[in-house]
Amino acid sequence: MMNICWANTDSFDEAEIVIVGIPDESKSHALRKGTSDAPHKIREISSIRDTYKRGDDVSMGLPLDGIVKKVYDYGNIERSQIEHTINKIISNSKIPISIGGDHSISIEIIKSVSKKYGPLSLVYFDAHPDFISSIHGYYGSVFYDVLPYIDVDTSIQIGIRTPEKEEIDNIKKYGLKVITPFDIIRDGIQKTEETILNKIGRNVYVSLDMDVIDPAFAPGVSVPVPLGLGNTEVALLLKSIAKRGMCGMDLMEVCPNYDIKDRTSHLASRIIGELISSTI
C-alpha cells in the first residue's frame, strides 16, 4: 500500500500524528457509491501531485507553514478495528487523522476518543446536519448518535445548508450552534474564525465531510450540495482550530468514482497537509 505523502517516519513510536484509512461505506444510503475507495485514492494522488521528482530524488510540496510533526501512516483498518486502533493511537499520546469511508465511521472514532478525553468539543464541517434521530447508526444520524460523547454547548456545525425538518427541530432542541455558508459570507472569515474559537472548548475533535466544500471545488463527494464553502475558507478555519489544539480529526465522504481529474482527492490531501502543519 502506498503511504500518504505527508508520512515522514516509518516508526509508530516516534510519530506525533497517525494517519488511518477506514475504507468502509456500509452505513451509507447515498446514491453515489465508492467512498470506500477514498483512502487509497487520496494516498495515491498525494504521492503523485504533492511530491516533486528530480532524478532519483523525491521531495514533498510543503504547506507554507512547513511540516515539523512526525507523521506515520498506519495503513487501512476495518470498521471492527476502529476502537482498538484509535485507543492504541491516543493512549500513546498521538493524534489520529482518519480517512473514510462514509461519515458514520466518525461515530465509532468519536466514541473511542471520548473514552480518554471525556466529552468532546465537536467541530462538524458538513453540508448536512446528520442530526436524524428517528433512525440510528447510519451516515445521516452521526451527530445524534455521538451526543453521549460530546459537549453540545461547546460544539458547532459549520457549512450546513440542506437540513431536513427533523434535523432543524433537533438543532433547536439541543441549542446547537450552526454557522451556514451565508453566515460566513455576511460576517467574513475573520469574524467566523473568532466565533468558532470562542465557542469550542478544551478537548476538540474535528469531523470533516468533504461535501461541506462547494462542488465547484470538490465535485467527487457522495452527496454534493451547491452553495458550499470555498476550499481556502475550510483550510484556513481548520488550521486555526489545529493551532488551538485538537485530539483527533477525520475526513470523510470523498467519492473518487464521481471526481473530476482527481481534484477532490488532491484537495483532501492538501487539507490534511495544511492541518498537520498547524497542529500543535
pLDDT of residue 71: 97
pTM value is 0.96
Annotated binding-site residue? 209? yes
- The rounded mean pLDDT for the chain is 96
Annotated binding-site residue? 126? yes
Quickly tell me which residue has 498525494 as its cell.
46
pLDDT of residue 16: 97
pLDDT tens digit sequence for 35-45: 999 999 999 99
Annotated binding-site residue? 130? yes
Residue 1 pLDDT greater than 80, yes or no: no
Annotated binding-site residue? 103? yes
pLDDT of residue 250: 98
Quickly tell me which residue has 475573520 as its cell.
190
pLDDT of residue 53: 77
pLDDT tens digit sequence for 76-98: 999 999 999 999 999 999 999 99
pLDDT of residue 156: 98
Residue 57 pLDDT greater than 80, yes or no: no
pLDDT tens digit sequence for 122-147: 999 999 999 999 999 999 999 999 99
pLDDT tens digit sequence for 243-256: 999 999 999 999 99
Confidence of residue 66 (pLDDT cuts 50, 70, 90): confident
Residue 59 pLDDT greater than 80, yes or no: no
pLDDT of residue 11: 97
pLDDT of residue 54: 76
Taken in order of first residue, the domains within the chain and their CATH numbers are 17-278 (3.40.800.10)
Q: Are 61 and 71 in contact (CB under 8 A)?
A: no
Residues 106-130, mean pLDDT to the nearest whole number = 98
Residue 152 pLDDT greater than 90, yes or no: yes
pLDDT of residue 64: 76
